[in-house]
Amino acid sequence: AGSASAAEPITASASCCSYTATSFTQAAGETGTFVNPADADAFHNVTAKDLGPDKKPLFASSSEPAGGSSPIPGTQYLDPGTYGFYCTIHTTAMSGQLVVDSSGTAVPRPAIKLGVLNQKLKAVRNQGKLKVKVTGTTASSGISISASAGGKKLGSISKVSVAAGASKTVVIKLTSAGKKALKNKKKVSVSVKSSMPFGKPVSASRKIQ
């Protein structure tokens, strides 16, 4: 097999287990597409061999049956270069390369800043919640944030979204174990950590009393 033409979806061969070309090309900033043809005889997918800043594959499609297709999230963040991929169902036999050219511009990866808002420890205990400021360096979604103190988890929140250049205050409700961890404390150092698809984890801390 040779190289596929630009903008052609990454396509599996009808017979297992290969793709229709060894190399596929897209412009930087595009979201690629995976196609499993109608006459395919197995489920297939496209998964990057390398990991991104979130310690997960740089890009990955869903596993598709014969006749299925899906976008390949993560490809829109790739800078020009060559990236290996494979099918996780047929790991030893099915692989290829995605070539990202410079005819476009990569989408900025999700990026945020965190801050623990100034609160009295007594208020945090009584109200059972901690307020955290989330600022979007770029548009970001699917953010999960967890809070801890003294190595003990206080609580968490998920599915947070923030627009580029915008800030919002989110409330993390303390679990029963989190409330217990703060009981009778005069001051604590609270740490918050975030994770999000395709973005780098971020952390912040603050002493409250």
Indicate the DSSP class of residue 36. -
Reduced to 3 states, what is the DSSP secondary structure of residue 166? coil
CA of residue 154 relative to chain centroid, distance: 23
pLDDT tens digits for the chain (209 residues)? 444 545 689 999 999 999 999 999 999 999 999 999 999 999 999 999 999 999 999 999 999 999 999 999 999 999 999 999 999 999 878 999 999 999 999 999 999 999 999 889 999 999 999 999 999 999 999 999 999 998 999 999 999 999 999 999 999 999 999 999 999 899 999 999 999 999 999 999 999 99
64, 70 contact by CB (below 8 A): yes
53, 109 contact by CB (below 8 A): yes
φ, ψ of residue 79 to 5 degrees: the values are -75, 160
pLDDT computed for residue 5 by the predictor: 46
Residue 84 forms beta bridges with which residues? 97
Handedness of CA 85, 88, 89, 93 (dihedral sign): positive
121, 209 contact by CB (below 8 A): yes
Burial class (CB in 10 A: 0-12, 13-18, 19+), 26: buried
pLDDT computed for residue 6 by the predictor: 52
The Cα 167–Cα 134 span in angstroms is 6
Reduced to 3 states, what is the DSSP secondary structure of residue 156? strand
